[in-house]
Structure 1
């Protein structure tokens, strides 16, 4: 199957059934920062699907990542019977907490990892459907799609931000992304063996790009999404700037020439064309200077050459690091 194919193949039902019966270790990673009022209910809800997961051949493990909470999040989680706990001494950001949790799950022998929010916005009963494409060997990465079953109307700024990042992720991964910022995602063993996200903030875009550039198959599954009643969202006005900067880091790691090389060529080409046009206008007597917009032309050419040089150097480094 083509990497990152969002379509579901239908041809091999007998093989899908046998795949789902194989024993597997499912780790649900729950990052939390000051979620004392909701964490016990989250753990209890996740525990309620243990029998369903067992019926699929899996064993359920709930792993809390305490991202420097200053309240009773840890105490409430332990009281609720969480299976595992990892703590950051200080708050490092959601991306860092997700990375810590996934790496810890991998170290504990996870075959599938589900990232799940600690704010009660997601429904644990969606998890079996979320991991089904992985169990049936139809996908390596599954994102929850919230917009068909959302229980409230998102604020306009959030809706516009989602549309922008969905379009950006679709452009970068060459396939349709209907919800690129969900709080519930599932990662299969193939992707877990290659997993790496460098940034401490927007984990969802980083994981999607990381999976794409590692040749993983991607799909989305409808999930429920409830309004937040406790805690505070990590989304702020800084989000677009930080998110885009971390997306650029991923692109520099995996496809430097595709982005920076093309951008450099375009800038250099535009600067060169402007230079030729303005020189021609000077010789035709239309202008009294050889180059009217010196700063613009020089700036475009320099920006283009620097971007192209960066792309070439980054690509050489990437090629040297390949096995």
Structure 2
């Protein structure tokens, strides 16, 4: 039996959550059961009540707002505990076409991808302004380069992933999971598919950011942090070598004047150059230490995956024993 759980992070979405849920598919070929999970990230309106009235199956509640990344991770953990084989994440504001979940999960069901990302066609999407189109395209190109994965819409929140992929991913950022997740998945050699999907215009402003400059800064910090986490040696050693090359310039300047017999008046170049080269050497040493830490992190992730697999085996065994016990009780009753 293949179970799909559709998770929807929510923050004060009472006006749209009911309509969003009503447009989700109830049947998909290759899926035996479809359940809906909402993550209430500290809503102060009646989002939960509206969601319950719409017929959801599961709720995760945060007592206060913890951010989209934390809401996403809470949803994934809950979906895994409920036995989801495929997980779909969508927005509560109705931006994405619910019927396209069928298209989104197809690569997962067919076994051709671990993760499928909804491609909104950013370059010609009529619901996006010109500046937003260019910004999204540049961001997607950057993430594509860093993750080594073919991704057309890196910040799309409409995505599906298999149970195995969900167990192997752990979101560490506090801003947005989208780019962090893709860089992780790309560096872990997961198969990622881009699936063209339809979108609708949303009337309310984004709750993820208050201004475009702030969004850009936060995304760059998230991307840089995620890339450094999985490529520390490259980042630190490259920076260290660059600083060392910069340090050579003032030292070369000092040597030139020294050979001309005028070295005493240019000692500051020697001091500055030496200081910069020392900093470069320190960055290289930090790169080695960070790489050792990254190796330790990989072992921790492997252990975490094994713990999750063991938990699944125990749950399956308990479920089997419960079914067997119920069957025996039924026979005794007869």
Q: Same fold (TM over 0.5)?
A: yes
1:1-323 aligned within 5 A: 23-46=1-24, 49-51=25-27, 53=28, 55-147=29-121, 152-230=126-204, 232-235=206-209, 236=211, 237-272=213-248, 274-283=249-258, 285=260, 288-292=265-269, 295=272, 297=273, 300-323=276-299
For the 8 Å contact 2:4–2:31, the answer to whether it is kept is no
Taking the aligned partners of 1:266 and 1:171, their CA distance within structure 2 comes to 21
CA distance 1:265–1:126, shift in 2 (3 Å): same
Higher RCO, 1 vs 2 (CA within 8 Å, ≥6 residues apart): 1
Unaligned runs of 5+ in 1: 1-22
Structure showing greater radius of gyration is: 2
CA distance 1:233–1:161, shift in 2 (3 Å): farther
CA distance 1:298–1:241, shift in 2 (3 Å): farther
Output one character per residue of 1:122-172: Cα deviation in whole Å (capped at 9) or x when no partner: 001111111111111111011111016965242344233312321221221
CA distance 1:300–1:69, shift in 2 (3 Å): farther
CA distance 1:302–1:104, shift in 2 (3 Å): farther
1:83 deviation in Å? Answer: 1.0
CA distance 1:213–1:179, shift in 2 (3 Å): same
For the 8 Å contact 1:151–1:226, the answer to whether it is kept is no
Higher helix share: 2
Taking the aligned partners of 2:169 and 2:230, their CA distance within structure 1 comes to 13
Taking the aligned partners of 1:218 and 1:141, their CA distance within structure 2 comes to 5
Residue correspondences, number: 295
Scaled by the length of structure 2, what TM-score is found? Answer: 0.81
Unaligned runs of 5+ in 2: 300-334
CA RMSD of aligned residues (A): 2.3
Scaled by the length of structure 1, what TM-score is found? Answer: 0.83
Give the structure 2 partner of residue 19 of structure 1: none
Give the structure 2 partner of residue 18 of structure 1: none
